[in-house]
């Protein structure tokens, strides 16, 4: 009877492990863990780490308006740099694009290490690397960009009347179209499949809705290869 007990015990352990793993996923965004490690710095910080024997520039925190200038300074002050490791909750979309172009001009590989997450505008900084690694347990997290982050400001604008609402909608539509075109151009230049936009990014909800609260998508390892987000291992 002992082998039966062992089998039952093993099955219970596996079930417990599976339940525990499921509990750690985000119920609103089921492709992603509940807690993503993307740094809480309000402005992206750049620090040199040589503990591994390589010269690693760590890029951590929000993609703010001045990230490009600080990145250029960090590249000059810490040259040569072997890799850029990045984790960020995103931020200014256009600043992310510009920072990605700076990374590409410098020709430095980028990496999302295990346990780190790169979301939203961070995607474009990461894709600037000519060689790109997404380690096992690292997360490349996408969503649909939105210009309506300050919902209260939008409500106030709409409450002022129909003309103001129409003007706001027109401005949002125009800038969204421009940014979508810029994103498309960026992916072409970086050698990433444009289907990343049409198949994944632009299919996410920009704002959580009552029937679908998912606003982010974590790419699987297979998808990072499929769309050429990761081009090295």
Nearest to 102 by CA among 65, 129, 121: 129
Q: Give dist(CA 107, CA 71) in Å, integer.
A: 14
What's domain 45-226's architecture?
A: Alpha-Beta Complex (3.90)
- Reference 199, options 174, 219, 178, 181; nearest CA is 219
Q: Where are the domains positioned within the chain?
A: 45-226
CA 223 – CA 208 distance, rounded (Å): 24
Whether cis (ω within 30° of 0) applies to the bond prior to 80 is yes
Q: What is the pLDDT along the chain (233 residues), one digit of tens a residue?
A: 444 444 444 444 433 433 344 448 999 899 999 999 999 899 999 999 999 999 999 999 999 999 999 999 999 999 999 999 999 999 998 999 999 999 999 999 999 999 999 999 999 999 999 999 999 999 999 987 654 444 444 444 445 555 554 554 455 555 556 667 788 899 999 999 999 999 998 888 766 666 667 788 999 999 999 999 999 98
Per residue in 185-227, pLDDT tens? Answer: 999 999 999 999 999 988 887 666 666 677 889 999 999 999 9
Is the pTM above the cut of 0.85? no
Measure CA 227 to chain center: 15
CA distance 214 to 29: 5
- Give the DSSP letter string of 17-76: HHHHHHHTB-SSSTTSBSS------SS-EEEEE-TTSS-EEEEES-B-TTHHHHHHHHHH
């Amino acid at each position: 009877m002992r082998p039966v007990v062992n089998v039952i015990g093993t099955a219970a352990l596996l079930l417990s492990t599976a339940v525990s793993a499921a509990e750690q996923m985000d119920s609103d965004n089921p492709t992603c863990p509940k807690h993503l490690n993307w740094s809480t710095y309000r402005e992206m910080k750049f620090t040199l780490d040589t503990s591994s024997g390589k010269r690693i520039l760590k890029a951590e925190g929000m993609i703010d308006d001045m990230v490009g200038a600080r990145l250029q300074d960090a590249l000059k002050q810490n040259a040569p740099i072997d890799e850029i490791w990045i984790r960020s909750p995103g931020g200014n979309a256009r600043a992310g694009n510009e920072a990605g172009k700076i990374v590409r001009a410098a020709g430095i590989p980028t990496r999302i290490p295990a346990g780190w997450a790169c979301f939203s505008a961070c995607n474009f900084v990461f894709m600037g690397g000519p060689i790109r690694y997404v380690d096992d347990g690292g997360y490349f997290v996408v969503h649909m960009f939105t210009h309506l982050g300050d919902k209260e400001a939008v409500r106030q604008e709409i409450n002022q009347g129909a003309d103001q609402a129409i003007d706001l909608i027109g401005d949002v539509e125009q800038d969204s179209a421009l940014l979508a075109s810029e994103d498309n151009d960026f992916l072409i230049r970086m050698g990433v499949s444009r289907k990343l936009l049409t198949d994944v990014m632009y299919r996410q909800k920009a704002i959580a809705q009552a029937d679908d609260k998912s606003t982010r998508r974590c790419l699987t390892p297979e998808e990072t290869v499929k769309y050429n987000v990761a081009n090295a291992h």
